């Protein structure tokens, strides 16, 4: 929870938009993020937010360890339902074209884009290369992922061409850390501090790390940038570092420069 909150607190536009929210969970979140940005004592605000969080999102009510990804997704999904302007800062748009391999029928579709997923591939080593590929992606729907065609009514394989057509104000890149067996993928990716998506330039301001060998255990920390200075944040310590590390990066948070 702390690693995600550190990155959300570093996004002033998100906090500013939350100030007009009336939902109890978002009011508590805004108060906590504001306290964190003031570098004031946060224990009481954090405890209050934790209690409200469990009330509105029961999955996080217990002390069971959860994934930082689950918290980020559920919190922003909740924000979209209750105060959409704040969630929209993270949303771009994707246009897909699905082609049935049985009859050739093509079905266009558009969807909001949140989290640009990156699968570690041996032919790419830096985030810029992955984002370039993600802008125009092609993949197949086979097996259990097959769709029923609206024309021929068959449950057939399909090819998908997916393009990012709108870039968000706040770009979140998710780097898949585990293989299908739940073990860590060791192929390293270089964290790029400035990237471009659809001609829009972004600067890195936050990184969430997962430390551990598998999906079933581990620990989360974060690195955040304030006024060109990077800080590494653990649960009970914050220290200045020269630059964010690439090792064990899980989420990358970028802000648009325009």
Residue 247 lies in a domain: no
Using CA atoms, how far apart are residues 106 and 97, in angstroms rounded to an integer? 6
Residue 165 lies in a domain: no
Neighbours of 49 (CB within 10 A): 22
Using CA atoms, how far apart are residues 166 and 183, in angstroms rounded to an integer? 34
**Would the CA dihedral through 151, 155, 161, 162 be positive or negative?**
positive
* pTM assigned to the model: 0.89
Q: One digit per residue, pLDDT tens: the chain, 258 residues?
A: 999 999 999 999 999 999 999 999 999 999 999 999 887 688 888 999 999 999 999 999 888 888 899 999 999 999 999 999 999 999 999 998 999 999 999 988 888 888 888 776 655 567 888 888 888 888 888 998 888 888 999 898 999 888 999 999 999 999 887 777 767 776 677 888 999 999 999 999 999 998 887 777 789 999 999 999 999 999 888 999 999 988 888 899 999 998
Residue 134 lies in a domain: no
Residue 253 lies in a domain: no
Residue 32 lies in a domain: yes
Residue 173 lies in a domain: no
In this structure, the dihedral spanned by the alpha carbons of residues 208, 214, 215 and 219, taken in order and rounded to 10 degrees, is -40
Beta bridge pairs of residue 207: 223, 252
Q: Which of 60, 146, 58 is CA-nearest to residue 102?
A: 146
Placement of tokens 């060109």 in the chain: 228
**HEC string of the chain?**
CHHHHHHHHCCHHHHHHHCCCCCHHHHHHHHHHHHHHCCCCCHHHHHHHHHHHHHHCHHHCCCCCCCHHHHHHHHHHHHHHHCHHHHHCCCEEEEEEEEECCCCCEEEEEEEECCEEECCCCCCCEHHHHHHHHHEEEEEECHHHCEECCCCCCEECEEEEEEEEECCCEEEEEECCECCCCEECCCCCECCCEEEECCEEEEEEEEEEEECCECCCCEEEEEEEECCEEEEEECCEEEEECCCCCCCEEEEEEEECC
Domain count, the chain: 1
Q: Mean pLDDT in the chain?
A: 89
Q: What is the pLDDT of residue 123?
A: 56
Reported as a single tens digit per residue, the pLDDT across 126-166 is 788 888 888 888 888 899 888 888 899 989 899 988 899 99
Residue 7 lies in a domain: yes
Residue 256 lies in a domain: no
Residue range of the domain that includes 53: 1-89
Size of the chain, expressed as the number of residues it contains? 258
Using CA atoms, how far apart are residues 207 and 187, in angstroms rounded to an integer? 18
């Amino acid at each position: 929870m702390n690693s995600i909150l550190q990155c959300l607190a570093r996004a002033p536009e998100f906090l500013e938009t939350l100030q007009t929210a009336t939902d109890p969970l978002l009011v508590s979140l805004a108060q906590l993020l504001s306290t964190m940005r003031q570098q004031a004592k946060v224990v009481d605000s954090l405890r209050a937010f934790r209690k409200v969080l469990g009330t509105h999102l029961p999955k996080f009510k217990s002390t069971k360890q959860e994934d930082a990804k689950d918290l980020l997704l559920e919190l922003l999904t909740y924000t979209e339902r209750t105060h959409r302007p704040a969630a929209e800062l993270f949303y771009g748009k994707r246009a897909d074209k699905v082609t049935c391999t049985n009859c050739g029928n093509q079905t266009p579709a558009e969807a909001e884009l949140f989290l640009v997923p990156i699968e570690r591939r041996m032919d790419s080593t830096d985030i810029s290369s992955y984002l370039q590929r993600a802008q125009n992606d092609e993949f197949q729907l086979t097996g259990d992922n097959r769709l029923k065609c609206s024309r021929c009514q068959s449950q057939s394989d399909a090819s998908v061409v997916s393009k990012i057509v709108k870039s968000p104000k706040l770009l979140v890149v998710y780097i898949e850390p585990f293989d299908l067996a739940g073990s860590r993928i060791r192929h390293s990716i270089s964290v790029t501090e400035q990237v471009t998506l659809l001609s829009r330039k972004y600067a890195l301001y936050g990184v969430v790390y997962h430390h551990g060998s598998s999906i079933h255990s581990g620990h989360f920390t974060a690195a955040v940038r304030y006024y060109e200075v990077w800080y590494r944040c653990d649960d009970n310590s914050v220290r200045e570092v020269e630059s964010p590390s690439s090792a064990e990066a899980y989420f990358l948070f970028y802000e648009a420069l325009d």
